[in-house]
Amino acid sequence: MSLTPYTRPLSAEDAAHFLRRTAFGATDAQIRALAGKDARAVARHHLNFGQDRASGNPFDPAQAATPFAGVQLTRAAWLYELLYGPHPLRELLTLTWSNHFVVGTDKVRNVPVLAEYLALLRRHAATTDFARFTLEVAQSPAMLRYLDADQNRKGRPNENFSRELLELFTTGIGPYTEKDVQEGARALTGWTFRGGRGNQKFLEASEYFFISREHDGGRKTYLGQSGNLRGEDVVRIAATHPATAAFVARKLHRAFIADEPDPAAVAASAETFRRTHGNVRAVLEELLASDHFYTQRASIIRGPVAFIVGALRTLGQPPLEPKQLLNLAQTAGKMGQFLLQPDTVKGWDGGREWINDTALLTRMQVAASLTLSGNAPKLETAPTPLALLGRETPLPGTERLNDRQRTYLTLISPEFQLA
């Protein structure tokens, strides 16, 4: 079973939908450049992103004077990449994986460690090997520090990472027992990192390190497999477990299809995941070129970061001053989404959790600052209804307003905030 492909050439509204979902938003010209093209070719092209970055990023976390400043600059530098980078789909996937393989700046404040973590997520954004991706995350100093895996020792196992590996990163709740968590923790003993420990060394790089004398080399049974299992073995077993396919597929559907995914469609993507041995790129290519993708519209509530980035990309990516970007990174946090600081280890819940009275008021203030205020960026061309709404017609009652008023009202409308 696989998802039915979308066979018609993309209309302008189809193209707008694709870019609202995969690039946060786009201008009228960027949308119309995709009209008439084949859905599979468009999906394949956008997934073929490189690792080049936006030029002129004004934020250098390596110049921070304190750990707190390093975190703030790291957030701002990432927001700049989200706004102005050449590969918005890569950054959207990086944001998605940061909400899957969660680490938080409440514990991880080392600048090179955070940079390495983000680089890892970008490198595997459309991974062809989910098991390899999971292992690299598991051995990253960011994850070792965040889930105390570096404290896991023979005879004194720490089960934090072993539990989350199953519950949150691979199989989800259900396929495993407490015994699997315990045996997994034994297998993962001896993993640690060296360098960059403590607030005084927040600019020093760290690296994964294995202490063989602290590893429990005894026989273990994990998810039905037995032997003298090591940490690499349990990560591979968990990442390739049949239940992991459905768990990861549902995460991808929540990112690209709907806040409440259709179980049958998720099952189809899970089958592709299993058939391709954890090839997320293959899953995404099929998903983003499917009839299901193009028929599910206005079904994702934009999170705070997606709202800010979507607004500015739709406005044509006008240049902002560094102070404005720093303020926007903080404002996203006020709306419930500090980059690199999800609410808990299970990540942001998203969906309706993004919406409350305070968050909606703040969204209105952001929209006003981008359109009506004296410091609003200059716009070469006002965004069209196609760019703002994914359709050719404007919001009723906005036809007689000036460009900035119409843009403001559209940005705060449910039609814009639902992708």
One-character DSSP codes across 83-107: HH-S-HHHHHHHHHHHTTS---TTT
Tokens of 41: 């070719």
pLDDT of residue 379: 84
Per-residue pLDDT of the chain (419 residues; tens, 9 = 90+): 799 999 999 999 999 999 999 999 999 999 999 999 999 999 999 999 999 999 999 999 999 999 999 999 999 999 999 999 999 999 999 999 999 999 999 999 999 999 999 999 999 999 999 999 999 999 999 999 999 999 999 999 999 999 999 999 999 999 999 999 999 999 999 999 999 999 999 999 999 999 999 999 999 999 999 999 999 999 999 999 999 999 999 999 999 999 999 999 999 999 999 999 999 999 999 999 999 999 999 999 999 999 999 999 999 999 999 999 999 999 999 999 999 999 999 999 999 999 999 999 999 999 999 999 999 998 888 999 999 999 999 999 998 999 999 999 999 999 999 99
Question: Minimal CA–CA distance to 337: which of 313, 352, 321, 359?
Answer: 359
Distances (CA, A) of 68 to 96, 104, 203, 318, 328: 24, 13, 12, 28, 17
pTM, full prediction:
0.98
Beta bridge partners of 191: 210
pLDDT score for 361: 97
Backbone angles phi, psi at 198, to 5 degrees: 90, 155
Two structure tokens written together for 259: 């806040």
Q: Which residues touch 414 (CB under 8 Å, ≥6 apart)?
A: none
Contact 290, 4 (CB under 8 A): yes
Q: Which residue has the tokens 């084949």?
A: 38
> Encoding tokens for residue 166?
């199953």
pLDDT at residue 380 in the model: 81
Q: What is the structure's pLDDT at 258?
A: 98
